[in-house]
C-alpha cells in the first residue's frame, strides 16, 4: 500500500468517526423537524428566490406538496415568502437563517 493510499484510508476512517459522533448530536437538534422540512429549507437556502414550481422540479415532488410544506415552514417562521419585483403574482421564498439559529440553541 502506498503512502497516498494509507493517507486516504486514514482520512476516510477519521471522517467516518466524525460523522458517527455528529450523528447523535444532529439527531437531537433535528428532533423537531421532519426530513422533508430539512430538505425543503436546504433547497430554498441554496436556491435564492425559488418559487413553488422551481422547488417542486428541483426536489421531484408535486407543487401541492411544496405549497403545503412552505405554508408549514412559514407558519413556523423558518422561511419567508416575498413577491418578485417584476411579477407581483410570483411568490418567492428565502430561508432567513432563523432555522439555523434554532439548531444551534437546541
pTM for the full model? 0.66
pLDDT value at residue 25: 79
Residuewise pLDDT in 10s, the chain (106 residues): 789 999 989 989 988 888 877 777 777 877 888 889 989 998 998 888 889 999 999 999 999 999 999 999 999 888 998 887 887 778 888 886 655 555 544 4
Sign of CA dihedral 44, 91, 59, 30: positive
Burial 25-54 (b: 16+ CB within 10 A, else e): eeeeeeeebeeebeebbebbbeeeebbbeb
Amino acid at each position: 500500500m502506498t503512502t497516498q493510499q494509507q493517507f486516504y484510508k486514514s482520512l476516510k476512517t477519521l471522517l467516518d468517526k466524525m460523522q458517527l459522533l455528529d450523528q447523535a448530536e444532529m439527531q437531537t437538534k433535528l428532533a423537531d423537524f421532519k426530513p422533508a422540512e430539512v430538505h425543503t429549507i436546504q433547497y430554498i437556502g441554496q436556491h435564492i428566490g425559488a418559487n413553488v414550481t422551481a422547488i417542486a422540479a428541483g426536489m421531484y415532488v408535486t407543487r401541492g406538496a411544496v405549497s403545503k410544506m412552505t405554508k408549514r415552514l412559514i407558519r413556523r417562521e423558518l422561511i419567508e415568502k416575498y413577491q418578485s419585483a417584476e411579477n407581483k403574482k410570483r411568490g418567492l421564498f428565502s430561508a432567513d437563517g432563523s432555522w439555523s439559529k434554532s439548531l444551534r440553541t437546541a
